[in-house]
Amino acid sequence: MTAEVGAPVSLRPATPRWRETLGLLAHNPTAAVSALLLLALVLVAIFDETLAPQGPNEVDVAARLESPSGAHPFGTDDLGRDILSRVVLGTGVSLRVGFLAVGIALLIGTGIGLLAGFYGRWIDDALMRLMDMLFAFPAVLLAIAVLAVRGTGWGNTALAIGIVYIPVFARVTRASVLGVREEVYVRASRSVGASDWRLLTRHVLPNAAPPIIVQTSISLAFAVLAEAALSFLGLGTQPPDPSWGLMLAEGRGFIDLAWWLAFFPGMAIFLTVLCFNLLGDGLRDVLDPKQRTLMAGGGR
Amino acid sequence: MTAPVLEVEDLRVRLRTPRGPADVVNGLSYRVGAGETVAVVGESGSGKSVSVLALLGLLPAGIATVTGRALLQGEDLLTMAPERLRQVRGPGAGMVFQDPMTSLNPVLTIGRQIVEGIRAHGDVDKAAARRRAAELLGEVGLPDPVGALDRYPHELSGGMRQRVVIAIALSNSPALLVADEATTALDVTVQAQIIDLVEKLQAERGTGVVWITHDLGVVAGIADRVLVMYGGRCVEDGTVDDVLENPVHPYTRGLLGALPDLARPAVGGVVPDLATVPGVPPAPTDLPAGCVFWPRCPVRGDARCETEQPPLAVIGSADVRLPHRAATWCTDRTSGTESPAGGFR
Amino acid sequence: MVVLAGVSVIVFALVHLVPGDPVRLALGTRFSQETYDALRERSGLDQPLVQQFVSWLGSALTGDLGVSFRSGDTVASLIGERLPATITLAFASILVALAIAVPLGTISALRPRSLVDRVATVFSQFGISVPEFWMSIVLILVFAGTLGWLPSGGYVPLTEDPAGWLQRLILPAVVTGVVSGSVITRFVRSSVLEALGADHVRTAQAKGLSSRQVFTGHVLRNALLPLVTVTGVQLAYLLSGVVVVEIVFSWPGLGQLALQSVQARDYPVLQGAILLFAVVFLVINLVVDLLYTAIDPRIRR
């Protein structure tokens, strides 16, 4: 007996459209700036050879441990290599490992989360229990253990970090799918006999996507950080590849003599990670106002 | 006539929102006498909840700007010092909220939640406050009131929880009771029990009641006077008989059309469909220039409706103590179509 | 329990997935056949896999985690040696983290857009994004190098040299505390905001409680649940040995042990350490659940 006016029932919620998302992001200056910086970083990684003033391993014995100057804006290291060039060339390594790792986690984790959330029952129980086991390992140690088994190198580093993040994506996806599964449009499609595959790909996934997108951005931050940490420990990227973490490890020995060796690569890691985090926060505000994503840092 | 318990004059509330300032309440005036019940009716989004939250300063600070006057027993709530306002909340005015599932703190016992309200207003020791709390629970009809003190909200049903919320609101014998959609979340039988309870307590204590609802069935049962809100304005008010039996504003008539007529027998066992007012209320960030109801009005026509805001004008005799008023341009035209039983000139 | 069983299978499988012969790897290049056979037999590697697993699990349950390939010490004693340092650092860090996060997160939730709120935002973004090892290096440079106030690393037990213990603890605890604290700050802020917006807070205000009573009685306590969870997660992470920080500060904790055992391919030690971390993780989850029950009556029953 209420006088509430029935709002028109739309069968399908307005799916966030890219243009709309970008428009809203543009109103969030920090996120917008971060996105632009990351774009610039990707361009740096693509054109690294052209942009770097010198080769990463060009040794100049005459110019060892030189402090930052016009010729070497970030200074030189103990072998006389130009730090700026090495930072520029390290961008590609960091981003490559980051994207590959998150790609692995996204593909497998989201798949598991979709199956668990959509089919529920024993499939859900079994898959999520498996994820709990994986989650019970400390992140860095799990990665170290994977590297111990598989050997070092950037590909294995990406794999190790990717495995660590599978349960995170599985959880976020599952939670999001559970929210979407019972929506009117999903039940409606099911009632007209749509196949599971069609339901999953056309209805469930697109509507469950926002938290996953946010999680992707945040996980990229951690993947870059983890790559740096593993390389710093000597388990990730191996010389002569110029990884930021590796440069930090090398620069550590010269910290009282030449601070710039460790400072600039550290700054590069910090800023990259910061941009991914800020972008993730901005995306969260726009796409996932209910904050269903695991908070940034949840896996740290 | 005795001095009113509550006297609201030209209450306006503006909220800061991401989409610009929203004029949620626009010049609301009414009085509530002792022992009297005023029902404020309207759809969700008509500004009725905000209007009472504003009275007690319960809107988020920094977001809301409240102007006007609201005299509670002669004292203006809107200009009151914070500490005085705190003292008034409870003994001056008690409040019952919409959703009993969320309006109690889930991690504290019922007893503690009543006791702290009692002890906030007077030097009462714990044991005395507990006895008083148990008494109150008994008064609102909770079985085993003493045992209930040590229970948590989740252990009670929705109706029982709402009784607890009412007990909290009444714990300091307020002069005014504000019930914000207090029965909306409850099923019909419980609704009736709660309404009976409030009427009984009101009769015993002479409390003034402001009852906010969108349910006209409840209004008919409880109110002495009705105030119909739309777009943050009062579009019609008067005694419950005037407004419900003799509605003037097209919006009120729309709402009443939406009432299932219980007297009319269901045809072939099928209850007739509810009539509704098509459309949605205007956004408070973007109110129409003329009559607030114009965009949805089924009988609009006059150009004046679109551009000029109709004043709240007395309909019928202005000599009675509680005149029937409506804010619409179409009083004269409507008499021909629906012919409400008399009274128009 | 199921999780623990699964974890132990994974831990066990890990070692046996390694390409190559762990014993051969552990012994290096120069060793006699007898030494090889002896170590292999002592490690039980000459037996079938299933039997190895059963006996490993059986001994693990009684606290016997095997013998290090490298030093010949028992894994349990190696871990035992490292435990005090790790526990010290973990609890010091969580104290630093909470000391920063609780006030900062609470005030920023109470006063959105204020200066404190902005500081909290910048701080948490900084802490979440900064590489720990870089921050460690910079702090060492400043406080141990330039200013010379604190030692650059190492660990002495509290019982031997309380002042030295504290001096050496400060820098690593600050680094990990800032990182964990930044994560916790965000949780505290959002959970206090959520608690503030709850309907029952309005009920409490409408009763005429003072803002202080409303805050302590109806906001803080309700905001405690998420705080307990995130603190548990952070503590588990800290107890599993913050590898990089331990390395930079030469802190003889479990993370360092785990890393060394990876580098030395000392699998029994690695197995033992990882199993311990998984147990710690599960125990902390259990404690968090118990605390939940204490705080939230809805979970009791």
Residue type present at position C203: T
With cut-offs at 50, 70 and 90, classify the pLDDT of residue B307. Answer: confident
In a domain, residue A71? The reply is: no
Alpha-carbon separation of residue C141 from A83, A100, B4, C9, C165 (angstroms): 19, 34, 74, 44, 20
pLDDT at A10: 38
Q: How many CB atoms lie within 10 A of CB B337?
A: 10
User: Binning pLDDT at 50, 70 and 90, where does residue A5 land?
Assistant: very low
How do B37-41 and B20-32 pair as beta strands? unpaired
A66 within domain boundaries? no
* pLDDT above 80: residue B260: no
For the domain with range C83-295, which CATH number is right: 1.20.1530.20, 1.10.3720.10, 2.40.160.40, 3.30.870.10? 1.10.3720.10
pTM of the model: 0.76
Give me the pLDDT at residue A4, please. Answer: 36
Q: Is residue A151 part of a domain?
A: yes
Q: CA of A2: which chain B residue's CA is closest?
A: B215
pLDDT, mean of residues A251-262: 76
User: Is residue C205 within 8 angstroms of chain B, CB to CB?
Assistant: yes
Exposure b/e, B223-260, CB count within 10 A at least 16 = b:
bbbbbbbbbbbbbbbbbbebbbebbbbbbbbbbbbbbe
Compare CB distances from A252 to C128, C137, C259 and report the shortest one's residue.
C137
Nearest by CB to B279, from A1, A4, A5: name it: A5
**Nearest-by-CA chain A residue for B18:** A27
For residue A240, whether the previous peptide bond is cis, meaning omega lies within 30 degrees of 0, is yes
Is position A87 within any domain?
yes
Q: What is the pLDDT of residue B263?
A: 44
Helix, coil or strand: residue C79: helix
| DSSP assignment letter at B102 | T
What pLDDT was estimated at residue C29? Answer: 60
Select from B209, B178, B290, B229 the least CA-distant residue to B24. Answer: B229
Q: How confident is the model at residue B24 (pLDDT cuts 50, 70, 90)?
A: confident
Domain membership flag for residue A204 = yes
What secondary structure, in 3-state letters, does chain A show?
A: CCCCCCCCCCCCCCCCCHHHHHHHHHCCHHHHHHHHHHHHHHHHHHCHHHHCCCCCCCCCHHHCCCCCCCCCCCCECCCCCEHHHHHHHHHHHHHHHHHHHHHHHHHHHHHHHHHHHHHCHHHHHHHHHHHHHHHCCCHHHHHHHHHHHHCCCHHHHHHHHHHHHHHHHHHHHHHHHHHHHCCHHHHHHHHCCCCHHHHHHHHHHHHHHHHHHHHHHHHHHHHHHHHHHHHHCCCCCCCCCCCHHHHHHHHHCCCCCCCHHHHHHHHHHHHHHHHHHHHHHHHHHHHCCCCCCCCCCCCC
Contacts of B107 in chain C (CB under 8 A): 221-222, 295-298
Kindly state the average pLDDT of the residues B239-250: 82
Q: Which domain holds residue A292?
A: 25-54+81-296
Assess whether pLDDT exceeds 60 at residue A162: yes
> Would an 8 Å CB–CB cutoff place C273 in contact with chain B?
no
Domain membership of residue A5 (yes or no) is no
Alpha-carbon gap: A24 to the closest alpha carbon of chain B (Å): 12
The CATH number that applies at residue A167 is 1.10.3720.10
Q: Is the pLDDT of residue B267 over 70?
A: no
Q: Has residue A175 been placed in a domain?
A: yes
Look-up of token digits 């998150």: A102
- A40-52 average pLDDT score: 75
Chain C touched by B267 (CB under 8 Å): no
Q: What is the ipTM of this complex?
A: 0.79
Average pLDDT, chain B: 80
* pLDDT band per the 50, 70, 90 thresholds, residue A207: confident
Q: Where are the alpha helices (DSSP H) in chain B?
A: 48-55, 82-88, 110-119, 126-139, 145-148, 158-170, 188-205, 216-222, 240-245, 250-257, 303-307, 331-337
Task: For B313, list phi and psi in degrees, rounded to 5.
Answer: -115, 150
- The pLDDT of A212-232, averaged and rounded, is 86
Helices (H), C71-131: 75-110, 115-129
Give the residue with greater pLDDT, B99 vs B176. Answer: B176
Question: How much is the pLDDT for C102?
Answer: 92
Q: Tell me the torsion sign for CA atoms A243, A249, A253, A254.
A: positive
CA angle (B14, B16, B20) in 5-degree steps: 105
Using CA atoms, how far residue A19 sits from A13, A15, A25, A26, B292, in Å, is: 16, 11, 10, 10, 34
Cβ atoms within 10 Å, residue A128: 19
Q: Inform me whether the pLDDT recorded for B343 exceeds 50.
A: no
Q: Span B303-309, mean pLDDT? A: 74
Per-residue pLDDT band at B236 (split at 50, 70, 90): confident
Compute CA distances A160 → A148, B39, B200, C255, whole Å: 10, 65, 70, 17
Per-residue pLDDT of chain C (301 residues; tens, 9 = 90+): 666 777 777 777 766 665 556 666 556 666 677 776 776 666 666 666 677 777 777 777 776 777 777 777 888 888 888 888 899 899 999 999 999 999 999 998 888 788 888 888 888 888 888 888 888 888 888 888 778 788 877 788 878 888 888 888 889 999 999 999 998 888 888 888 888 888 888 889 888 888 888 888 888 888 888 888 888 888 888 887 688 888 888 888 888 888 888 777 777 788 788 788 878 888 888 888 888 888 888 776 5
Total structural domains within chain A: 1
Predicted pLDDT of residue C25: 59
State residue C30's pLDDT score.
63
- Residue A13 pLDDT level (bands cut at 50, 70, 90): very low
| Span A118-138, average pLDDT | 79
- Would you place residue A103 in the very low, low, confident or very high pLDDT band (cuts 50, 70, 90)? very high
Whether the per-residue pLDDT at B339 is higher than 60: the answer is: no
CATH 1.10.3720.10 in chain C is located at: 83-295
Query: How many Cβ atoms from other residues are within 10 Å of residue C56's Cβ?
Result: 22
Test the A interface: residue of B187, B249, B280 with most A CBs within 10 Å: B280
Reference C248, options A152, A141, A245, A148; nearest CA is A245
Residue A17 lies in a domain: no
Question: Which residues on chain C are in Cβ contact (under 8 Å) with B154?
Answer: 297-298
Whole-number pLDDT of residue B271: 43
Q: Residue B116 is nearest to which of C198, C200, C207, comparing CB atoms?
A: C207
C89 touches C173 (CB < 8 A): yes
Mark which residues 187-246 of A lie under 8 Å from C by CB. 221, 225, 228-229, 232-235, 245
Q: How many residues does chain B have?
A: 345
Is the minimum CB–CB distance between C207 and chain B shorter than 8 Å?
Answer: yes
Confidence category of residue A295, pLDDT binned at 50, 70, 90: very low
